[in-house]
Amino acid sequence: MGEPLVKITVIGAAGCVGSAAVFNIAIQGLADEIVMIGGRRQNVLKQHAMDLNTAVAAHDILVRTGSYEDILGSRIVIIAADASGIDSGSPRVLSSRMELLPINLALFRDIGEKIRKLCPEAVVITATNPVDPLNYAMYLLSADRDRRKFIGYSTNDSFRFWMMTAGALGVKTSQVSGTVIGEHGSSQVLLFSSLRVDGKPVSVSEEFKQKIRQQVPNILKSYEELKSGRTAGWTSAVGLAHMCRAIGQDTRDKIPCSVVLDGEYGYHGLSMTAPAIIGQGGVQQILEWELSPDEYQGLENSVNTLKPAMRYVEENLGI
């Protein structure tokens, strides 16, 4: 008997994150069927599907458009939908990802109800901003509130940490590893204690740390100033495909992502980025690393930034 078929649905597949994710998942052979669901721009959605289906024709993977009824049987559902239009050519400029919470929460209430009805067993990966409160919303809207099945995509923060530190250290990015935890936003915590070059710990000065930290607020700003109406689609697609591989093939890879906490790091009732083991069924373990004093303080500040957004989600969902 062969391996079970893997069906993945991408909601918001007409945008740059969704369409790039479909391509990366398909070209790596991580699904047998990929369903693309879009919103207002059905012509763009269909064009993407036609092009993608041809691009991966030699891989025997079906890429097709569909409606919400077509999510039935999906093992993984990726949500990249955005009600604000930020991912579809809008000139709106953000100063914080949290500005998107009110409009996107309304969209997520509708999506959450459909997933709960049609494929409650699916692992749900939220790639829409603000990731942390929206992942928490999906968890609260689920039928069984199994937090293992709800993952917020925030791995880009760690990718950028590697790039920034590699540049400052004068080494190749491929030589560097390190993890970011906390908010997927300006209060994120760069874990310099996790910094490695060629697998070996690196000791850096406080001046070095401050130099890297000061670059964080400029990341979103640099994207927004372009007024391109696009976001980090290619980067997100790389990480989303990695997550799908980990879930579909049960690789148990360590991936930093936004997870619902239940006592880890001393916090409850919120979603934030933490290092996690990802495999079949989603989050198999949340890793609690020992942090340095300044990292603990940074995490407390980040959690305090996130708490109002979590309470906003609870109040607006009537939880």
Neighbours of 33 (CB within 10 A): 18
Would residue 59 show up in a list of annotated catalytic residues for this protein? no
Buried b (16+ CB within 10 A) or exposed e, 86-123: bbbeeeeebeebbbbbeebbebbbebbebbeebbeebb
Cα separation, 59 vs 243, in Å, equals 20
Tracing tokens 């880009």 back to the chain, one arrives at 156
Which of 48, 59, 184, 268 is flagged as catalytic?
184
CA 138, 143, 147, 149 torsion-angle sign = negative
Cα separation, 315 vs 182, in Å, equals 22
Neighbours of 296 (CB within 10 A): 14
Which residues are catalytic, by number? 184
